[in-house]
């Protein structure tokens, strides 16, 4: 799942400097690598459209990725889906040569363009799409703003029905505080 940059900017007359990419990937193709550890699952084909423009040693890539992701609700733990339709604007520069020392990675922002690295004369499209998905994820994934979550006692999904637990829930920190106050009195 890589885009070969060598087809761009060949020396000689009639140099090709721009390339239009329009590809569709099946969800299963994106479930490996970096994406396998993530809090999302790709559940629809991924449509990637982008233009790659060669600019000396760098490549400007602007495009859009659309698909649907499945997430887990932070309150009730049920799966739900969100649509993704993310435009992106990236600048790819050659990856720095590994020196063996850690902590050399730096984030460079120039003209609001996020800088990414390409290796072996190609762009890793799986990584590109993965990064767009991560950016599209909500801070707090919720199946709905009104999600009732789970009962802290019995685990019943309160969106699906009530349980028999008492609605009063004492914050354990308050309990500890009460104990402390009692201790002081005695």
Q: Which residues bind Zn ion (CB under 5 A)?
A: 73, 75-76, 143, 147, 151, 153-154, 156, 163, 165
Q: Pick the closer one to Zn ion by CB: 54 or 75.
A: 75
Whether the CB-CB separation of 24 and 48 falls below 8 Å is answered with yes
Q: Pick the closer one to Zn ion by CB: 48 or 71.
A: 71
CB of 79 to Zn ion, least distance (A): 10
* Cβ count within 10 A of residue 63: 19
Q: Which residues of 88-124 are buried (b: 16+ CB within 10 A; e: fewer)?
A: bebbbbeeeeeeeeeeeeeeeeeeebeebebeeeebb
CB of 172 to Zn ion, least distance (A): 17
For 137, residues 6+ apart whose C-beta sits below 8 A from its C-beta are 39, 40, 69, 71
CB of 75 to Zn ion, least distance (A): 5
Q: Pick the closer one to Zn ion by CB: 1 or 151.
A: 151
Q: Pick the closer one to Zn ion by CB: 103 or 167.
A: 167
CB of 135 to Zn ion, least distance (A): 22
25 DSSP assignment? E
């Amino acid at each position: 799942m890589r885009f070969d940059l060598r087809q761009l900017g060949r020396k000689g007359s009639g140099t090709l400097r721009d390339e239009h990419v329009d590809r569709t990937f099946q969800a299963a193709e994106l479930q490996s690598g970096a994406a396998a550890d993530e809090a999302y699952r790709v559940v629809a084909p991924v449509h990637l459209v982008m233009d790659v423009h060669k600019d000396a040693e760098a490549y400007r890539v602007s495009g859009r990725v659309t698909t649907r992701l499945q997430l887990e609700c932070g309150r009730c733990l049920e799966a739900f889906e969100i649509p993704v339709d993310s435009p992106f604007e990236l600048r790819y520069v050659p990856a720095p040569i590994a020196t063996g020392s850690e902590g050399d990675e730096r984030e460079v922002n120039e003209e609001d363009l996020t800088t990414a690295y390409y290796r072996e004369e190609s762009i890793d499209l799986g990584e590109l799409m993965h990064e767009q998905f991560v950016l599209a994820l909500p801070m707090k994934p919720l199946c709905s703003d009104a999600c009732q979550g789970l009962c802290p006692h019995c685990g019943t999904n309160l969106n699906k029905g009530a349980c028999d637990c008492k609605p009063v829930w004492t914050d354990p920190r308050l309990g500890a505080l009460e104990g402390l106050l009692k201790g002081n009195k005695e």
